[in-house]
């Protein structure tokens, strides 16, 4: 994915963590302003793959944040279906191992090639360590290294498997940019414009800080979706970045 020549507005991904009805209302409002939306498990499992087409018709690129993690054969099939549904980007857990990550890539390419209307294969990005996992939580599942070391190990594995990028916190973005090189997709959630409510996010950066640290894309949810005027909130963030 050639993201480097894109405008700031086109590198902001709006997380639609809401009901299907609310997602459509928000999509209709943000159409023509935002370029990307993120659909997570809650919305996807409520409506299924048709949400991809619904969002495409509104002019959005779709990031399906389904965080796949299963045996390689299953992940191959899931990636194949996701590509056929027309998603532009999706996520897999790097801790599923190199064979599983390679299967996700292969499934994505095959699904896009098999789609009736020749599609671009979706980009595949790896989840490293969930931010809900701290050192104690990692130790409880048998991982004795620090979260930072584990993030680095898994990001390298994803890179070796040929994935397009990773999702990480803005705090890790600079280190990950150095590790993965200039072209990798580095998506950072935990982004809050100055003065915005933190919600349940604790380690946050402003949109400008996240881009400066090396993020290619920012995921922003509630500061836009819960604003009194979501379009104005989006445009303000994009204008500040430009
Ligand atoms: O509303 P908010 O801006 O906090 O939304 C951030 C989005 O990024 C949510 O969809 C959340 O699930 C996701 N996310 C996150 N932290 C991670 C990974 C994903 O906040 N480490």
**Every domain of the chain and the residues it spans:** 9-241
Please identify which residue in the block is written with the tokens 């498997």.
161
Would you please indicate which residues are annotated as catalytic (active-site) residues? 67
| Averaged pLDDT score across all residues of the chain | 95
The rounded Å distance from CA 198 to ligand 1 centre is: 11
Confidence of residue 197 (pLDDT cuts 50, 70, 90): confident
Q: 69-95: per-residue pLDDT in tens?
A: 999 999 999 999 999 999 999 999 999
Top CATH class, 9-241: alpha beta
Question: What is the pLDDT, as a whole number, of residue 81?
Answer: 98
Q: 107-160: per-residue pLDDT in tens?
A: 999 999 999 888 999 999 999 998 888 899 999 999 999 999 999 999 999 999
Question: What is the pLDDT, as a whole number, of residue 126?
Answer: 98
Q: Looking at the predicted structure, is the pLDDT value of residue 202 above 80?
A: no
Please identify which residue in the block is written with the tokens 């890179």.
159
Pairing of strands 217-220, 165-167: unpaired
Does the beta carbon of 131 lie inside 6 Å of ligand 1? yes
* Mean per-residue pLDDT, 51-71: 98
Q: Is-contact 40 87, C-beta < 8 A?
A: no
- Judged by phi (left if over 0) then psi (alpha if -120 to 50, else beta), residue 199 lies in left
- Rounded-to-integer distance, Cα 146 and Cα 130, Å: 13
Does the beta carbon of 147 lie inside 6 Å of ligand 1? no
Question: What is the pLDDT, as a whole number, of residue 133?
Answer: 87
pTM of the model: 0.95
The rounded Å distance from CA 205 to ligand 1 centre is: 13
Does the beta carbon of 207 lie inside 6 Å of ligand 1? no
């Amino acid at each position: 994915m050639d993201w480097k020549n894109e405008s700031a507005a086109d590198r902001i991904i709006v997380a639609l963590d809401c009901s299907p009805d609310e997602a459509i209302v928000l999509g209709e409002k943000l159409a023509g302003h935002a370029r990307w939306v993120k659909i997570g498990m809650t919305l996807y499992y409520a409506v299924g793959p048709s949400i991809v087409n619904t969002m495409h018709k509104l002019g959005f690129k779709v990031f399906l944040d389904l965080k796949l993690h299963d045996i390689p054969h299953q992940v191959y099939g899931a990636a194949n279906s996701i590509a056929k549904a027309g998603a532009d980007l999706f996520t897999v857990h790097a801790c599923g191992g190199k064979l599983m990550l390679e299967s996700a890539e292969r499934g994505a390419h095959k699904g896009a090639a098999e789609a009736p209307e020749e599609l671009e294969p979706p980009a595949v990005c790896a989840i490293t360590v969930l931010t809900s996992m701290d050192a104690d939580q990692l130790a409880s599942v048998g991982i004795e290294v620090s979260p930072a070391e584990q993030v680095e190990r898994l990001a390298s594995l994803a890179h070796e498997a040929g994935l397009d990028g990773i999702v990480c916190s803005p705090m890790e973005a600079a280190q990950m940019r150095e590790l993965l090189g200039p072209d990798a997709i580095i998506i950072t959630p935990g982004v809050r414009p100055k003065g915005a409510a933190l919600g349940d996010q604790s380690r946050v950066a402003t949109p400008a800080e996240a881009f400066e640290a090396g993020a290619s894309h920012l995921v922003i949810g509630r500061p836009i979706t819960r604003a009194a005027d979501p379009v104005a909130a989006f445009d303000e963030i994009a204008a500040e970045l430009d």
